[in-house]
Chain A
Amino acid sequence: MATTKKFMYLNRKSSYGTVYAIESLEVVLIAAAFEQDVSLAFIDDGVFQIINDQNTDGIGMKNFSKTFHALGDYDINKIYVSKESLEDRGLNEEDIMPLVYEDEDNDWEEKPSVKVLSNAELSKIMSEQDVCLSF
């Protein structure tokens, strides 16, 4: 059996100004297909990637924020958001998309995937990873 490693994807940029955000999401989905232990962290302007009510009709770009809802089906349910980054930007927990997963150990009950954590809590989780990839 192949080894499973803990991968954390660090997302630090907003969605549409650069290609980092969508490229990260592509790589995340690939890693999940290889059945790795994947977690996502959204810090700095990365928090804008998973904000509610994004509407890209006016800029002619694909609104890929909807794809984040599929992560639960790929067993990606560890999504961390920096509390400080939200606060600095005038955002709060209610502004984040309600991403969920179905817990196979608990009769497929729907549970939230997103946790808002302090930077100190995030750094602890980061230190437990085998690989951190930054976007």
Chain B
Amino acid sequence: MLHTVNKSSFERNSLQSCVNSIDDSSVILLIEDGVISCTNNVNSSMIASLAKEGRVYALQGDVEARGVSSKVAENIKLVDYAGFVDLVVEHGTTVSWV
């Protein structure tokens, strides 16, 4: 499954709820204000192990808009809109953590 998170981890618990609920084959895509979680910050531990397994993505346009392109954590993969579509196709069901 593909899980999209569009809220900042500093403002809502969407990311934590998502991480608590996903299985071993699911991946997370951070979009909109969700990309605030792609930097190294005090909430990074929530997704650190998932990122290490290559299961965390962030939408490049949203990363660039928020001025954090140079701060993306090492194991988080950037995708463009076409990459977003590929993830949707690859993982079948999508869950939006709004």
Contacts and interface: CB of A to CB of B under 8 A. Distances in A.
B36 A59 contact: no
Interface size class of B (residues with CB under 8 A): 20 to 34
B71 A90 contact: yes
B11 A54 contact: no
A89 B64 contact: no
Contact of A45 (B36, B40, B42): B36
Q: How large is the interface on A (under 10, 10 to 19, 20 to 34, 35 or more residues)?
A: 20 to 34
A16 B60 CA distance: 14
A55 B41 CA distance: 21
A58 B65 contact: yes
Contacts, number: 79
A124 to B, nearest CB: 24
A65 B64 CA distance: 13
A59 B64 CA distance: 9
A7 interface: no
A13 interface: yes
Nearest to B34: A17
B11 A44 contact: yes
Interface string A50-70: 011111111101010100000
A45 B33 contact: yes
Contact of B65 (A61, A88, A95): A61
A14 interface: yes
21 contacts: A14-B8, A14-B33, A14-B66, A15-B65, A16-B32, A16-B66, A17-B6, A45-B8, A45-B10, A45-B33, A48-B36, A53-B67, A55-B69, A56-B65, A57-B61, A58-B62, A58-B65, A88-B10, A88-B42, A89-B42, A90-B42
Interface of B: 6-8, 10-11, 32-33, 36, 39-44, 60-62, 64-71, 80
Interface of A: 13-18, 44-45, 48, 51-59, 61, 63, 65, 87-91, 95
